[in-house]
Structure formats: structure tokens, C-alpha cells
Amino acid sequence: MPSSPTNPDAPTQPGYFADLYTFHWREISLQTSLIAIVAVAVSLVGGVLIGHPAAGLISGGGAMTVGFGLNQRISDSRLWPMIWATLAMAASTFIGMLAGHEGYALIFLSAAWAFGYGILTARAAGVAWVGQQAAVTLLVTSAFPADARHAFQRALLTLLGGTLQILFTSAFLRLLPELQADLLALPSYGFDEATHLRHIFRFGRILRRLRGFPRALPRMWAAGHVPYALRLALTVAAATEAYRWRGVQSGYWIPMTALLVQKPLFAETLNRALMRVLGTLAGAVLCTFFLLRVHPDPITLAWLAVFFCFCAFMANPVNYAFFSVFLTSYIVFLLSLNVLPGPEIAHRRAYATAAGGLIALIIHIDAFLLRRPKPSTSSPTKGVSKTTKGHSERSEEPQ
């Protein structure tokens, strides 16, 4: 890190757009990426081989998302984020498909899910990550409206993908010794947790918690959790309305992007939006160039999706824009398995990602104006706000 001109030993503050050009290469974990990719490969390639690529696509998508839970923790366990994310995604799949994207129900549901995720950011990063995956899944599955029977089938496929990820992760304990310790402690932890859950879900205890929530609101408001959750809900609601108005099935990328890039600070939102858009555009251009000249068969598409999924797992902790390049490539090849034109998928994703990032920035511009430094005669240290420190240091997004 460069030193300060006035004090050679003191490090300078990172630039405003430092996240764009900062790459944490040492954070790459080849072992974790190899473990996480197995369930995705089994789902995608297996689906093509048995003649049901669409089912493999759904299961593989669930396996990929749950695989990012390896980087999360709940009560010092790697398993619990994956387990809770699998259950939350299955439930959100069912609700999202029933809601669809043509009526107003999705606007209220997406806002509620986004608000819940925003409130969960006050908890551990692993808990917030589970809430984020539930909200993303609700938005994605709304693009495929269906009756209860078909919604339940897709929820089961999502549950299958997450379960496969958990099982394959557990099978490779020799590669992750810390996971072995988590599994050995799971029976007693599960018993204690189950006992705890029984107390939580007693009707009287639920009522007491609900009555205590208003008293906790001032503290959560002062800490910045409630304002952030409200802003997030407003952002996702506006983006969902744009998605509904647009009327394009792949338009769910608009609210999904708005959800993922919206952060408590305007600078964080701006950096996140720029990295998401730039990475998506780069991935879309590369995939379009490839698919216009090469017309791979389904099994090749499946393996290409697996390869870029592996790259996305490795790039996730390195740089968000770098990660977005591989994520976009993975999604383009993944959806091409469902007989969708790859170049059109890439074009729509690029357009929707830019729209979602713009909506998040527009709704956040008031926070930027309110937080501009004002002239003051007081000591600089007295005006430092501690409100958003917990938010700015929190990193929970895997997507």
C-alpha cells in the first residue's frame, strides 16, 4: 500500500473506486471450488444424459448457490448456512412461482423479502446471506409462473440441488478438515438447536417477541439497520415494477441486481453497481462472440456451464467485477441448455443489469446528498458517525 506524502510510514486511504481495480488473488481457494463444483456437474451433466436438461438446470442452480455457503458461518458451522439456504430457497421457489411476475403480488412479496434481508444484516453475515438467497430466489422463480403442482416440483428440484451440494461437501471432508469437526458436533448441536427452536416457536414466546419488537426499533433505527432495510425494500419494489412493466421473462435481473448492489453507503452502492455492470457486459460480449461462431451441443453446453461455475467460485473472493464476468458466462450457457438463444440471453442480462444498478443508484442518491461533508468548526473526530460501520464492514453476498 502506498504511503502518505506527509508521513512515509502511514498508509494512504484507498481510492474512491479502489474496489474496481483491487484483486485479492491470495483469497482463491482451489479446494473449496473443486468441492462446490461436483454437485453442479452431477446435476447439469446428469440432466442432459437422462434427457431432462431443464430439471438438471434447476437442480444445478440450487447446488451452485448453496455451494457459496462454504464461505459463510452460522454458529461457527459451515453446514448450517447451506442447510438453511436450501430450505429457504425451496420455500421461496414455491411462493415465487405462484406469485408470477404479471400481477402486483410480486411487488409486495419482493419488498417484504428485501426488507427481511435488510433486517437480517444486523445479525451474523451467514444469517444475512441466507436471507439474501431467499430474496434472490423469489425474484428468479417469479419469471416462471405456475400452478401449485409445478411450483412444488421445481421447489423439490431446488431442494435436491442443495441437498446434493451438502452431501458432496460432506463426502470430501478430507479436503476440508474443519468441516469434519462441524459434522462431528452436528448431532449435539442439532439436538440443542431443536430444543431451542421448540422454545422459540411456542405461541406465548412468539407473542412476547412480537411485543418486544417495537421497543427494539429505536435501537435498530439508530444503528442504521431499519433505514437500510426500508431503502432496500423501496429499491426492490421499484425495480420489480420496472420488471413487471417491461414484461420480459428475463427481466427479473432488474430487481435482482438492484437487491445485490444496494448497500448502506452510496459509495458502496456505486462501486458495486459499476463492478456488476462492467463484469456483466464483459461476460455477455465474450459469450455472444463465442456462441455466434460455435454452436455447441447440449453436453458441451453443460460442461461449459460447469467450467464457468468453477471459475465463478474461484473469482468470488478476488474481485466482484471479475466474478461477474464468470457468473454471466455461467448463466448464459446454463440457460442455453433450456433451448434459449445464448446471444439474446447475454443481451437481456446486460440490459437488465444496467437498469437494476441505475435504479439502486437513483434511490440512493438522497443518502449521498445527506452525507456530504458540511463545514464545521468542531473537531473532526466529533462528527464521525458510527451508524454504518457495521454495514460497511459486512460482506455477505455470494452471488
Per-residue pLDDT of the chain (399 residues; tens, 9 = 90+): 444 444 444 444 556 677 777 888 888 888 889 989 999 999 999 999 999 999 999 999 999 999 998 888 887 777 889 988 999 999 999 999 999 888 889 999 999 999 999 988 887 888 999 999 999 999 999 989 999 999 999 999 999 999 999 989 888 856 455 555 655 555 554 444 444 444 444 445 545 555 555 555 555 555 567 888 999 999 999 999 999 887 776 789 999 999 999 888 888 888 888 899 899 888 888 888 888 788 888 899 999 999 999 999 999 999 999 999 999 999 888 888 876 666 777 788 888 889 999 999 998 876 555 555 444 444 444 343 333 333 333 344 445
Domain-embedded: residue 160: yes
Q: Report pLDDT digits (tens) over 128-181.
A: 999 999 999 999 999 899 999 999 999 999 999 999 999 898 888 564 555 556
List phi, psi (to 5°) of 260.
-75, -30
14 occurs within a structural domain: no
Q: For residue 399, tell me if it sits in a domain.
A: no
Instruction: Provide the 10 A C-beta neighbour count for residue 96.
Output: 32
Which value, to the nearest 10 degrees, does the dihedral of the CA atoms of residues 226, 230, 235, 240 take? 120
Q: Helix (H, G, I), strand (E, B), or coil: what is residue 104?
A: coil
User: What's the distance, CA 188 to chain centroid?
Assistant: 30
Of 302, 286, 395, nearest to 350 by C-alpha is 286
State how far the alpha carbon of 81 is from the alpha carbons of 130, 131, 133, 268, in Å: 6, 10, 10, 25
Kindly report, residue by residue over 64-111, the tens digit of the pLDDT: 999 998 888 887 777 889 988 999 999 999 999 999 888 889 999 999
Alpha-carbon distance of 25 to 15, in angstroms, equals: 19
> CA-CA distance, 287 to 289, in Å (whole number)?
5
pTM as predicted:
0.79
Over residues 93-103, the pLDDT tens digits come to 999 999 988 88
Number of separate domains in the chain: 1
User: CA-to-CA distance for 309 and 301, rounded, in angstroms?
Assistant: 12
Confidence at residue 199, expressed as pLDDT on a 0 to 100 scale: 45
State the Cα–Cα distance between residues 219 and 176, nearest whole angstrom.
39
Residue 151 lies in a domain: yes
**Which tens digit of pLDDT belongs to each residue from 259-274?**
999 888 888 888 888 8
Confidence (pLDDT) at 60: 94
Q: In which domain, by residue range, is 117 found? A: 22-198+205-372+385-392
Q: What are phi and psi of 89, to 5 degrees?
A: -70, -40
Q: How many Å separate Cα 219 from the centre of its chain?
A: 27
pLDDT of res. 368: 54
E-strand ranges in the chain read none
Q: What is the pLDDT of residue 311?
A: 95
DSSP 3-state helix, strand, coil percentages of the chain (rounded to 5)? 75, 0, 25
Residue 116 resides in a domain: yes
Does a structural domain hold residue 12? Answer: no
Furthest C-alpha separation in the chain: 73
Q: Is residue 194 part of a domain?
A: yes
The Cα–Cα gap between 344 and 367 comes to: 36
Contact 259, 135 (CB under 8 A): yes
SS3 assignment, position 11: strand
Domain membership flag for residue 177: yes
Here the cell at position 259 is 437487491
3 three-class SS: strand
